[in-house]
Structure 1
Amino acid sequence: MDWTRILTNVAGEIIAPTTAAYALAAIGLNIHFGLTGLLNMGQAGFMLLGAYGFAIATIAGWPIWAAALVAIAAAALFALVLGIPTLKLRGDYLAIVTIAAAEIVRLIGRSTALTSLTGASSGLRGDSYKATFQALSPLPDGTTDIGPFNYSNNFSNSWWIRIVAWAVVALACLFVLLLIRSPWGRVLKGIREDEDAVRSLGKSVYAYKMQSLVLGGVIGALAGIIYVLPRAVQPDSMGRPMTFFVWTILLLGGAATVFGPVLGSIVFWAGLMLIKSLMRDGIPDTVMSTGQIEQLGWVIVGVTLMLLVIFRPQGVLGDKKELAINVR
């Protein structure tokens, strides 16, 4: 078994743009669920809208800052459309609406009626919208070796994408830290614990929930941009499984914590790579094919996470008292 190659692949997952994108999406979901107690089951919808907004605006010739604003505006509008009819109801209604709305976004994206805009089921090719982002890179062309890692400086799956992605994650963590310590953040946590008590103090619970939904959705849209920078915008790759992965990452690292989503994303993707690499090297092709190994890897990860939720529901960094699900 080639341990050097296996450990290099695992370490590569730790700094991968996909890991950063999922960490950022989980940070947004943490504002929804960890701080406010909102059961958003459609975070992939916010990510897909962010990806489409950025890509379509860039293809139309807009500068990168304007394309990012389009993505943010699309996510904010989506949050308003979801929140206005549901935030005055029980949390499970929001869960039903968000998972359905995210599927609507995905199905609209793959609709043949919008092929000229969204590319339908084929999506939007990465080389059609990445040029403005790559043009911002201060790195020289070519590739760079850092330890065992060798990546392009500026093209897809590059060092430049990694630098920007993890810088955005760091800024998001700082923002959440300041948010938790602010009076506004304390109101959100009060809503999570007992919204009737907060309402009795004269606070507009509905307004605070709406602000939380918009803010977490905007962070999810930024995660969608980072997710598609190394690849294409493909609607079927950002469906229900993506939302479930984000939830898993949040619960794994610990809800209502600052760094739990980041740790959860790193452990999730590095652990998945480790399991699959060990099985590829240790299980002969005559016993199990590559496709079967991929499926078994997900099964093992799923069982492991089920055990984690059963025996440590607060996650690695979380506090059980912080989990809204345990106080209702």
Structure 2
Amino acid sequence: MEEFLRILTQSAGEILAPTTAAYAMAAIGLNLHFGYTGLLNMGQAGFMLLGAYGFGITLTTGGSFWLALLVAIAAGVLFAIILGMPTLQLRGDYLAIVTISAAEIVRWFGRSTLWQQWTGGASGLQGRFYKEPFQELSFLPDGRFALGPFEYINTGSDSWWTRIVAWGLVALVVLFVWLITRSPWGRVLKGIREDEDAVRALGKNVYAYKLQALVLGGAIGALGGVIFALPAAIVPDSMGRTMTFFVWTILLLGGAATVFGPVLGSMIFFAAYMFMRTGMRALAENTGVGDFITTTNVEQIGGMLVGVTLMLLVIFRPQGIFGNKKELAFNVR
């Protein structure tokens, strides 16, 4: 029973973890791309990595926290413009192929020794080089604080301060998305998603609206990369295809074209994912299934189960837990 309570507490702690907030932010940006506009962006990790690098490199070169935040957003915007201008005429699978290729190019640039003095190469940027300006902004006293079974240091990498900032940013972005998607601009995006030819016939510049959605979603994805970097290091291989895969799972789990779906989807996903991994480790250590499930292959089995979950979602519940199936009339020829 004690072991089960430990696993349950550890899993519940993931609900408010900074990583959960980072993925929620990335899923909100992807929701603008796919959920509201119908753009099949398979490279959201590229926006996150560029945002993280813009943030980390600015701080390591002596910039302020606020300047680093602006640089991170600008990196996402610039990448969206460069990516979107020549490719937004593409539809469906073709756009997906281009975006996932672009994200891989960003990752390999990060790994390259050509830019190693800035990016750290394959080893990335260690957190000690850029976290101090962020932690100096904390108004919390020194020490630790416990809220029920959850106890963390007040200021540091895995701290209450990081959680407050991360989820505060998520709340602001959720409010922003709620406002813009209820506006006439947001209704045009939904029209493009359902039938862009009809929207074009009404005199709207579909290309411009798509580019605007790509830029906004990319900037939000870059903010997700900043949040992801706050409690950890900036390593290019940690923001690759698997990250995009998880972001898509989170979006489809919570529900595309919903305001709170990406946030709730991220919370549910990471709580369940942690419960699954810690549960399998406990089984491997304390029961006879250790011959089949070892502590070394828990991550691989977990990844396979996430893949199965995504397949089942697409087949049986494409609108997600909180979504509306009527919102999925995508025109992605």
User: Do Structure 1 and Structure 2 share a fold, with TM-score over 0.5?
Assistant: yes
1:115-134 matches, within 5 Å, as: 115-134=116-135
Q: Within the alignment, does 1:313 sit opposite 2:314 as a pair?
A: no
Say if 2:140 is the partner of 1:139: yes
1:134-185 CA deviation, whole Å, 9 max, x = no partner?
A: 0111001121111111111111111001011111111111111111210000
User: Structure 2 counterpart of 1:121, which letter?
Assistant: A
* Secondary structure of 1:150's aligned partner: strand
Cα deviation, 1:4-34, whole Å, max 9, x if unaligned, reads 2011101111010000000000000000000
Offset at residue 325 of structure 1 (A): 4.0
Contact 2:193–2:330, Cα closer than 8 Å, also in 1: no
In structure 1, how many angstroms separate the alpha carbons of the residues matched to 2:57 and 2:309? 39
* In structure 2, C-alpha distance between the alignment counterparts of 1:161 and 1:99, rounded to whole Å: 30
Aligned partner of residue 290 in structure 1, secondary structure? coil
The one-letter code sitting in structure 1 at the alignment partner of 2:311 is M
Per mean C-alpha deviation after superposition, the further-off stretch among 300-309 and 217-226 is 300-309
Moved more, 266-275 or 22-31: 266-275
- Matched to 1:133, the amino acid is F
**Structure 2 counterpart of 1:305, one-letter code:** L
Aligned AA (2:103):
A
2:235 corresponding residue in structure 1:
234
SS in 2 for 1:194: helix
Q: 2:68 — aligned with what?
A: 67
Is the contact between residue 39 and residue 91 of structure 1 (CA under 8 Å) also seen in structure 2?
yes
Name 1:189's counterpart in structure 2: 190
Where does residue 49 of structure 2 map in the other structure? Answer: 48
Which residue of 1 is the match for residue 26 of structure 2?
A: 25
Taking the aligned partners of 1:67 and 1:302, their CA distance within structure 2 comes to 35
Q: CA RMSD in A?
A: 1.4
Question: Equivalents in 1 of 2:275, 2:140: separation in Å?
Answer: 31
2 CA distance for matches of 1:109 and 1:277? 32
* Alpha carbons of structure 1 residues 89 and 326: separation in structure 2 relative to 1, 3 Å: closer
Residue 10 of structure 2 corresponds to residue 9 of structure 1: yes
Letter in 1 for 2:238: S
Matches within 5 A, 1:1-328: 1=1, 2-283=3-284, 284=287, 285-325=290-330
Q: Judge conservation of contact 1:87–1:206 (CA < 8 Å) in 2.
A: yes
State how far apart, in whole Å, the 2-side matches of 1:81 and 1:27 are. Answer: 21
Distance 1:104 1:62 in 2: 26
TM superposition score normalised by structure 2: 0.95
Matching residue's letter, 1:8: T
Pairwise CA distance, 1:306: 2.0
Q: Percent identity, please.
A: 69
User: Aligned-pair distance for 1:294?
Assistant: 2.6
> Which deviates further from its counterpart, 19-28 or 275-284?
275-284
Distance in 1 between residues matched to 2:88 and 2:304, nearest whole Å: 35
Tell me how far 1:287 sits from its aligned partner: 4.3
Separation in 2, partners of 1:315, 1:72 = 29
CA distance in 2, matches of 1:64, 1:294: 34
Q: Please, which moves more after superposition, 236-245 or 141-150?
A: 141-150
For residues 255 and 57 of structure 1, the distance between their equivalents in structure 2, rounded to whole angstroms, comes to: 34
Structure 1 position 286, deviation (Å): 4.2
CA distance in 1, matches of 2:83, 2:258: 25
User: How far off its partner does 1:86 sit?
Assistant: 1.0
Classify the secondary structure of the residue corresponding to 2:321. Answer: coil
Give the secondary-structure state (helix, strand or coil) at the position aligned to 1:38.
Answer: coil
The count of corresponding residues between Structure 1 and Structure 2 is 328
Contact 1:54 1:225 in 2 (8 A): yes
Where do 5+ consecutive residues of structure 1 fail to align? none
Q: Any idea what the Cα deviations from partners look like across 1:67-124, whole Å, max 9, x if unmatched?
A: 1111111111100111111112323332111111110110001101111110000100
8 A contact 2:7–2:278 mirrored in 1: yes
**In structure 2, what is the Cα distance between the partners aligned to 1:80 and 1:229?**
26
Q: CA deviation at 1:299?
A: 2.2
- What TM-score, normalized to structure 1? 0.97
Query: Unaligned regions of 5+ residues in structure 2, if any?
Result: none
Letter in 2 for 1:234: V
In 2, the alpha carbon distance for the partners of 1:228 and 1:327 equals 34
**Is the 8 Å Cα contact of residues 34 and 324 (structure 1) preserved in structure 2?**
no
